[in-house]
Amino acid sequence: MSLINLKNILIRGLARATKSVFTCAITLIVFFSSYSFATVQVVDSETEDVVRHLVSPILRAAGEDPTTVRIYILLDDQINAFVSGGRNIFLNTGVITSFNDPDVLKGVIAHELGHISGGHLARRDEKMRDIQKQSIVAMSLLGVAAAVSGRPDALLGGLAGQSHLFSRDYLSYSRSQEVSADQASVKFLHDSKNTLKGIVKLQEYFAQKQSHYIKEVNPYDITHPLSDSRLATLKLALEEEPKGYGSSALERKEYSRIVAKLRGFLKRSNVAVGVDQSDLDDFSKKYEKAIILYEKYDTSGAIVILNELISIEPENGYLYELKGQILFRSGQVLESLDSYKKAVKYVKNPMMKAEYALAISNSIDFYHSAAEKQAALNEVVSLLESVLASDLRNPYIYRLLATAYGKLGDLGYSNLMLAEEALMQHKYKESKQFAKLAEKHSGNRAGLKLKIEDIMTALAKSGD
């Protein structure tokens, strides 16, 4: 995958260490879990907006506030999703790229919401603790028995047997949670007037995959019920489904676009084998082709297609975003600004504002008059301050703001931004130094002084 050599700008607080890089309209964020393996998050304004739009009614049907459930899209071909850390749903790109069907996505999210509403994560941890306690007691008793009998081999054999029983106990508990999540997903989908056809399609796919080795699988030794069993239950529920449930024509059109985008950028041209896969519509095919041309460094070819698509949908901010980033990458920085400006006009997305601000920051040196430079710097400040008001916070955003304020001659806010940047990076001594410099240049600005006090309070809590 080609990567644009831009600064990392859109890191979200997923884990202790993160690293991000732009790939045109898609940002890749690498985060490292406590289990010492790296996972890549895909951040794309269009994909996130469409997914959020599709699943919000299901979230509400599950009794959840759509603003409190976070959905992260992970770069992974496997058709999978999972819940972690409370109300965080992690969705693999394979779910989207393999099925050009929004009902599949809705079914997957509904199932994961079943785990959230059922409190399965907390209960699973409780079950593990219970099993561990039982295991400790069992090992103690076996140890006593072995000592009395004078046969240490009896202890080894007993431990193996007990371990198998406890493993079976946990697997049984896990399967029961999956069944419960399936039942909840049916309710959430129907309560939001969505169809079960997508989740049935997904289980048919899994059943077909499992058919190759089903005879070798012991149903008591797996965490999920076999797909044949789940499929039969879901089909019965589907038969009772009211007519007219399912994704609208608009939802299918929007979904086809993000399928095309992800396939184009991530080079995932293959769909799930054995699935009755709906093809992309003509617009989405051209969208994908423009991205493929861009990935092959054919900038002019990609722009020609994008201009054609823009003529069809002149108020589609995502098309302008993509055009702006392609122009930016090709070195046409000033030319990219008009596209970015239209992108943020038509789509209210903080990530787009951050990208636009970055482009303006890189265009400052092209302006000749002081008035033009000042106007551009003021726009950078305005855009990035609005980004900070959202959930997009990153040290580099603070760095961009510090630079803009510095060029505007505002050393108070410039040093404040550097203090914020250092605080986010846990560089507490540097943060305190910059906060003191900000205070020195604060003058009579009460708002600035209050923000400096907030940083000092945060530093005091950190123990520095």
> pLDDT tens across 325-355, in order?
999 999 999 999 999 999 999 999 998 999 9
The residues, ordered by sequence, that sit 6+ positions from 401 with a Cβ below 8 Å of its Cβ are 380, 381, 384, 385, 388, 413, 417
- pLDDT for the residue numbered 439: 96
- pLDDT for the residue numbered 22: 40
209-237 pLDDT per residue, tens: 765 545 444 443 334 445 577 888 899 99
Residue 85 pLDDT level (bands cut at 50, 70, 90): confident
Q: Tell which wins on pLDDT, 317 or 38.
A: 317
Q: Tell which wins on pLDDT, 273 or 69.
A: 69
Residue 402 has pLDDT above 70, yes or no: yes
Tell me how crowded residue 159 is: count the other CB atoms within 10 A of its CB: 16
DSSP 241: P
Q: Using DSSP, state whether 38 is helix, strand or coil.
A: strand
Average pLDDT of the segment spanning 237-254 = 95
- pLDDT for the residue numbered 26: 62
**What burial letters (b/e) apply to 425-455, b meaning 16+ CB within 10 Å?**
eebeeebbebbebbbeebeeeeebeebbeeb
92-126 pLDDT per residue, tens: 999 999 999 999 999 999 999 998 886 545 444 44
- The mean pLDDT of the chain is 79
- pLDDT for the residue numbered 233: 87
Residue 461 pLDDT level (bands cut at 50, 70, 90): confident
Residue 143 has pLDDT above 70, yes or no: no
- pLDDT for the residue numbered 239: 94
> DSSP of 262-285, one letter per residue?
HHHHHT--PPPTTS-PPPPPHHHH
CA atoms within 13 A on the CB side of 44: 26
Q: Is the pTM of this model over 0.85?
A: no
